Structure 1
Amino acid sequence: MCGITGWVDYGRDLTTERSTALNMTRTMRLRGPDDEGLWIEPHVALGHRRLAVIDVEGGVQPMSEGPATLVYSGEAYNFRELRRELEGHGHRFRTRSDTEVVLQAYLRWGPALVDRLNGMFALAIWDRRTEELLLARDRLGIKPLYYALTPHGVLFGSEPKAILANPMFTARVEDEGLFELMTMAKTPGHAIFAGMREVEPGHTVRVGREGATDHVYWSLRAREHTDDIPATVRHVRELLDDIVERQLISDVPLCTLLSGGLDSSALTALADQALGADSVRSFAVDFVEETVGFTPDELRETADTPYVHDVAKHVGSQHTDVVLDTGQLVSPEVLDSVLRARDLPGFGDMDTSLYLLFGEIRRHSTVALSGESADEVFGGYRWFHDSSVVAADTFPWATTAFTNGLELLDRDFDARAEAYQHRRYREALSEVPHVPGTSAHERRMREICYLHLTRWVRTLLDRKDRLSMAVGLEVRVPYCDHRLVDYVFNTPWSYKTYDGREKSLLRGAVADALPESVVRRVKSPYPSTQNVSYERAIRDRLGELATDPAAPIQPYLDKAAVRTALRRPVGTASLQRDRIGLERVIALNDWLAAYRPVHV
């Protein structure tokens, strides 16, 4: 796993811009702590920071072969099969790395190489024959890739900070960018900063002297599902066995993230089976207060730890609990590190706890498998099963048990943001592929699944990528294998709930590998501290911002709404639900203060 960046400019000699290209590259140093590379020709500069995972000695980048030079972030899990195929075509290899396989695949198949890759990746290839740059991103958007077109070329990077390091780009934000942040619409391609774009998942972008062209190489398609329920369950298990085995390939220490829920427990169990005699290592997060007493609330009925320990004992994993306290969660240094990692406002203690968990894991492992995205693939969230949410004419997560902070902002801003969110929602619905002849309920549930797989999941994948790579940890997400996503997307909703519960297909596929307690457990979201001292710290911080005339958030606040929120009793269920909204407003203020984007 790595950080990539680059600059193409057909109107200047970039060999004189080495220091700027190097500065762009070094913004990626946390993503790639092991090595640094910079390659420059008159019209192109490619930079790379490396986290060595496969072929530690041989996978150095930028990598050149013949007319092509590559910078690449990610893993191609089928690189061994591709290597054998390429060798059959006469290609010869100098290294054992998947990077060289990707480069040779380009020389063989050109931009169509992306159709052959199974994995998570963001890449850039400069072709001297055409003087064109190819940018490409994996199908689900696991690995990030941003770009900004310039009058004579393009700037790109794994994170916005790489582009922001170039003096040709100025940090600017429009109202639409702020709406995008606060509504969590996650519009495909939108990068918040004006003039910057994301390469969309499943897309390539080719940049030449005449400009840029965007090409879709993969998207969710609708087709009739012909397998019955038992056959579907069997195929899901076959896919998971193959996916987990592929994603265990690593030349450095590997582990799993274990929450005690169905998703992560299944991966831990399947990984342990695939490793054979070598027991898997697992890590879980917990909070000091909840190790001695957990109080059920409207979001979480059960604590994770008992289930985590059931799984660890059942599979015999080498397990570690990472226990956090409020002081760590509100540490200014940690909060700043999280903000700088994301380049955007985050999600309060759900971000800081994940960052701290990843930091502890990195002391022992370089690669981790995560259960992220199973809820989107299999229909696990509670709101999938709430008829009022399903019927609502908006994004499902906009109606659920947490707030996004808009209720604390100026009413005019709030109203315009809501209108923006609705417009983006209608756009998303217009994309949904349907199978003719299905019932109205099946059509609606397909829409709900599509919204999660093309919007909501990308928010979570971005979060996971930034916070893990900020400590030099590669997190793999097996449930994002495009074969599994495509197959399950096209199964009827009745199959996904065939036993009357959430995630029926996944539960049926892996029940034999898990302790009964986990098989029976109801979905529980990512944990958030219940400590009232954390709530007080959040309330105190928002109160300070509301009375500080220099706070960047001041022009956007609804002071009366803030006062009402701060008067609620500490520790109430409503505050547990609404705390995310308070945290989002604070995060927006901190982002505006740190990045100082020009509001245009």
Structure 2
Amino acid sequence: MCGITGWIAFERELASERPIVEAMTETMACRGPDACGIWIDGQAALGHRRLAIIDIEGGAQPMSVTTPAGEIVLVYSGEVYNYRELRAELEAAGQRFTTESDTEVVLRAYQHWGEGLAERLNGMFAFAIWDAGARKLVLVRDRLGIKPLYFYRTVDGVLFGSEPKAILANPLARREVSADGLRELFAHVRTPGHAVWAGMHDLQPGTVVTVDADGVRERRYWRLATHPHEGGCERSVAHVRGLLDDIVRRQLISDVPRCVLLSGGLDSSTVTALAARFLGEDGERVRSFAVDFVGQTEHFHPDELRGTPDTPYVHDVARHVGAEHQDIVLDNETLSDPELRRRVTAANDLPTGLGDMYASLYLLCKAIREHSTVALSGESADELFGGYRQFHDPAIQRAHEFPWLATKDAFGMKPDVILAPAIAEALDLPGYRRDAYATAVAEVEHLDGEDALERRMRISSYLHLTRFLRYLLDRKDRMSMAVGLEVRVPFCDHRLVEYVYNAPWALKTYDGREKSLLRGAARDVLPRSVVERVKSPYPSTQDPHYVAALQRQGREVLDYCENGVTDLVDRVWLERATRPAAVVSTADRQGLEWTLNLEAWLELYRPRLNL
């Protein structure tokens, strides 16, 4: 895993711009703490920060190959899990390799197949290739958008980077956020291609972008398509299990220490159990890590989101599979530290209303990084198999809005309720959401003969996989890479996604519960407690002292802040929510998180807000 960046300028020489390219590359030192590389020649400059995972000695970047037409140079972030098969195929076709890295496989694959290499890759990746002979840049992102990649058009070319901060380090990029950028930030919808920052684009998943002197062209090489599903319950469960076995086995490939993130839910427990089985074949114990909060298990009280604490289930799984397990226990003083908030906001490049859920993940990854460099995680299983409550609520099934916005849970909080009235009116977030919803629904393909329920559930699945999942993948990538930890997500393998997405809703709920196909596929490797456990979201601290700290810091914003956050936030609401004796609702708590993260973001990035 790595961080990549670059600058292509078709009307200027970039040799004298090395300090700027170095600055762009240095912004992502945390993504690649092991090495730094820069390549500049004529109109192209590429930068790379390396986190060494496979072929520690031989995988240095930028990596290049000289051809009769000119040099081909690659900067690459991610992992290609079928690189060994691709290497064998390329060797049979006459390609010769000088390293054992998957990076060289990607480079040689482009040399052999050109832009058609994208369809052949299985993995999580974002990479850039400068083809000097053709005088073009090729940008490629994986099918689900696991690894990030942004680009920014200039007068004579393009800037790109794994994170916006790399692009913003170039003076050609404006630190500006338009009204649409603020809408994207606050509406809690994710418009494909939108990057919040004016002029910047989020390269869409499953897309190849080609840049040459004639402009920028995009080609989708993969999209979530609809196909008839074949086979009944038993066959479907067996096929899911076969895919999971292959996926987890592939994603354990590494030349550095590996582990799993374990929450005690069905998703992460399945990954942990399968990893334990495959590592055990080589005499190795799986290492697992979980996040917890001081006093959370002992003093836990059920709420509308979480009926049980995670830790007892985590320990059940660890005992069941013989894991070498460690709990990372966090206290409220650490979670509410303003300096931690600044680090998290800087890592994310944007503010968020899920403050402690980002901060705790950052701290969890930081603690794991002391022991392991690669971790497997359970993201996307809920979106894929139908795990969230909104999938099973008849009222939400019939609602004509994004399902996570029709709920009252943590992900359903609409931050526009805390905006200053004039800002809320100018942004018209309800209208923005309606338009975004209509656009997304229009993309969904249906099969002939689908009844009303099947159509609604296909739409819900599509929205979760193409819109909501982006938040979770971005969060996991940013918080883990901020501390140099590579996190792999087995449930995002496109083969599994394509298969389960097209399974009828009746199959996904064949036992009358959520995630039936996954439960059936993994039942034999899990303790009964986890098999029967009801879905519980990522944990959040229940410590009232944490909320009190948010209120105290919110009052400081009212009294001392000079960076404009109180021009965005409704002062009347903020004064009410920060009164010492005030009862803080879930919505108010998230509003306070939004306010404090906005304050940190405005201070760190000083964006020009153009309403």
TM-score band by shorter chain is over 0.9
**How far does residue 392 in structure 1 lie from its aligned partner after superposition?**
1.8
Q: Deviations over 1:306-330 (max 9, x none)?
A: 0000000000000000000011101
Cα shift readout 1:199-250 (whole Å, capped 9, x = no counterpart): 1000010000011001100001111112111111100000000000000000
Q: Which residue of 1 aligns with 2:570?
A: 558
Instruction: Establish whether residue 146 from structure 1 lines up as the match of residue 150 from structure 2.
Output: yes
How far 1:523 moved relative to its partner? 0.2
Q: Give the whole-Å Cα distance in 2 for the aligned partners of 1:230 and 1:469.
A: 39
What is the match of residue 541 of structure 1? 553
Q: What is the Cα deviation at residue 175 of structure 1?
A: 1.2
Equivalent residue for 1:309, pick from 272, 293, 315: 315
* 1:290 partner SS: coil
Q: Would the alpha carbon gap of residues 468 and 107 (structure 1) be closer, same or farther in structure 2, given more than 3 Å must change?
A: same
The aligned amino acid for 2:44 is: V
Alignment match, 1:321: 327
1:427-460 deviations in Å (ceiling 9; x for gaps): 1111111111100110011000000000110011
Deviation at 1:337, TM superposition (A): 1.0
Q: Which residue of 2 aligns with 1:449?
A: 461
Matches of 1:421 and 1:589, distance apart in 2 = 25
How far the C-alpha of 1:542 sits from its partner, in A, is 2.2
Q: How does 1:244-255 map to 2 (within 5 A)?
A: 244-255=248-259
- 1:50 matched to 2:46? The reply is no
Q: What are the superposed Cα offsets for residues 104-149 of structure 1, whole Å, 9 maximum, x if unpaired? A: 0000100010000000000000101110000010000000000001
Amino acid at match of 1:411: P
Alignment equivalent of 1:202, drawn from 183, 188, 206? 206
Identify the range of structure 1 (263-272 vs 579-588) with the bigger mean alpha-carbon deviation: 579-588
8 A contact 1:137–1:199 mirrored in 2: yes
Q: CA deviation at 1:252?
A: 0.1
In structure 2, C-alpha distance between the alignment counterparts of 1:147 and 1:203, rounded to whole Å? 13
Letter of the aligned partner of 1:395 in structure 2? F
Q: State the alpha-carbon separation in 2 of the partners of residues 353 and 210 from structure 1.
A: 46
Structure 1 unpaired stretches of 5+: none
> What is the CA-CA distance between 1:548 and the residue it aligns to?
4.3
- Indicate conservation of the 8 Å contact 1:404/1:580, yes or no: no
Per the alignment, residue 348 of structure 1 pairs with 355
Question: Structure 1 residues 392-401 or 200-209, which shifts more?
Answer: 392-401
1:380 pairs, out of 383, 387, 393, with 387
Please give the alpha-carbon distance, in whole angstroms, between the structure 2 residues aligned to 1:439 and 1:582: 43
One-letter identity of the residue aligned with 2:537: P
TM-score by length of 1: 0.98
Structure 1 residue 569: Cα displacement: 6.0
1:75 pairs with 2:79: yes
CA 1:569 to 1:240, structure 2 compared with 1: closer, same or farther past 3 Å? farther
Contact in 1 for aligned 2:194/2:202 (Cα 8 Å): yes
| Contact 2:341–2:600 under 8 Å retained in 1 | no
Task: Give the equivalent residue in structure 1 for 2:173.
Answer: 169
- In 2, Cα distance between equivalents of 1:515 and 1:268: 12
Could you tell me how far 1:177 is from its partner in structure 2? Answer: 0.7
In the alignment, residue 45 of structure 1 is paired with which amino acid?
A: A
Q: Specify the alignment match of 1:4 in structure 2.
A: 4
Q: Secondary structure at the match of 1:252?
A: coil
Q: Is 1:243 the equivalent of 2:253?
A: no
Contact in 1 for aligned 2:551/2:580 (Cα 8 Å): no
| C-alpha distance in 2 between matches for 1:216 and 1:255 | 33
Any unmatched runs of 5+ in structure 2?
none
- Note if contact 1:285-1:324 (Cα within 8 Å) is conserved in structure 2: yes
CA distance in 2, matches of 1:587, 1:227: 49
Matched, 1:596 2:602: no
Work out the CA distance in 2 between the residues paired with 1:187 and 1:110: 29
1:71-110 equivalent positions in 2, closer than 5 A = 71-110=75-114
In structure 1, what is the equivalent of residue 41 of structure 2? 41
- Counterpart of 1:405 in structure 2 is 415
SS at match of 2:12: coil
CA drift at 1:559: 2.6
For 2:95, the aligned partner's letter is H
**Residue of structure 1 in register with 2:596 after alignment:** 586
SS in 1 for 2:198: coil
**1:577 Cα offset (Å):** 5.3
Give, in whole Å, the separation in 2 of the partners of 1:559 and 1:392: 32
Give the residue type in structure 1 aligned to 2:289: F
Deviations 1:333-358 (A, max 9, x none): 21111111111113200000000000
Residues in 1 aligned to 2:334 and 2:378: alpha-carbon distance in whole angstroms: 25
Distance 2:498 2:195 in 1: 26
Instruction: Return the match for 1:389 from 396, 410, 418.
Output: 396
Aligned pair 1:366/2:373, yes or no?
A: yes
Return 426-435 or 468-477, whichever deviates more. Answer: 426-435
Distance in 2 (alpha carbons) for counterparts of 1:24 and 1:562: 37
- Deviates further, 291-300 or 219-228: 291-300
Q: Deviations over 1:373-407 (max 9, x none)?
A: 11011110111111122222211111222313211
Which residue identity lines up with residue 384 of structure 2 in the other structure? V
Query: Would the aligned equivalents of 2:59 and 2:101 in 1 still touch at CA under 8 Å?
Result: yes
Cα distance change on mapping 1:566 and 1:386 into 2, 3 Å: farther
Is residue 2:301 matched to residue 1:295?
yes
Distance 1:517 1:588 in 2: 41
Query: Which residue pairs with 1:29 in the alignment?
Result: 29
Task: Name the amino acid aligned to 2:94.
Answer: G
Partner of 1:263: 267
* TM-score, normalised via structure 2 length: 0.96
Q: Secondary structure at the match of 1:241?
A: helix
Structure 1 distance, partners of 2:262, 2:586, is 24
How far off is 1:567 after superposition? 5.3
The answer (yes or no) to whether the contact 1:406–1:581 under 8 Å persists in 2 is: no
The amino acid of 1:264's aligned partner reads: S
CA distance in 2, matches of 1:46, 1:3: 11
Checking the alignment, whether the CA contact within 8 Å between 2:563 and 2:602 is kept in structure 1 is no
Shift, 1:182, TM fit: 1.1
The match for 1:217 is 221
Count residues with an aligned counterpart: 598
Q: CA RMSD in A?
A: 1.3
Instruction: Give CA-to-partner distance per residue, 1:183-213, whole Å, 9 cap, x none.
Output: 1211111000000001100001000001100
1:549 deviates by: 6.1
Report the Cα distance in structure 2 between the residues aligned to 1:376 and 1:317, rounded to whole angstroms. Answer: 27
Q: How far has the Cα of 1:564 moved from its partner?
A: 4.0
Identify which range, 386-395 or 364-373, moves more after superposition: 386-395
Of 332, 340, 344, 1:334 maps to 340
Deviations 1:146-185 (A, max 9, x none): 0001010000000001000001111100111111111121
Q: Does 1:128 align with 2:141?
A: no
Task: Report deviation, 1:590.
Answer: 2.0
| Alpha carbons 2:551, 2:579 under 8 Å: kept | no
Distance of 2:551 and 2:235 partners within structure 1: 52
Return the letter of the residue paired with 1:350.
M
Distance across 2 between alignment mates of 1:543 and 1:337: 21
d(CA) in 1 for partners of 2:606, 2:399: 36
- Do the aligned residues in 1 keep the contact of 2:59 with 2:104 (CA within 8 Å)? yes
User: Which letter maps to 1:407?
Assistant: V
Distance 2:431 2:559 in 1: 29
Range moving further from structure 2, 581-590 or 338-347: 581-590
The 1:541/1:568 distance shift into structure 2, 3 A limit, reads closer
- Secondary structure of the 1:320 match is strand
Deviation at 1:411, TM superposition (A): 3.1
SS at match of 1:133: strand
User: What CA distance in whole angstroms lies between the structure 1 residues aligned with 2:435 and 2:596?
Assistant: 26
CA offset digits 1:230-283 (Å, max 9, x no partner): 111100000000000000000000000000000000000000111122110000
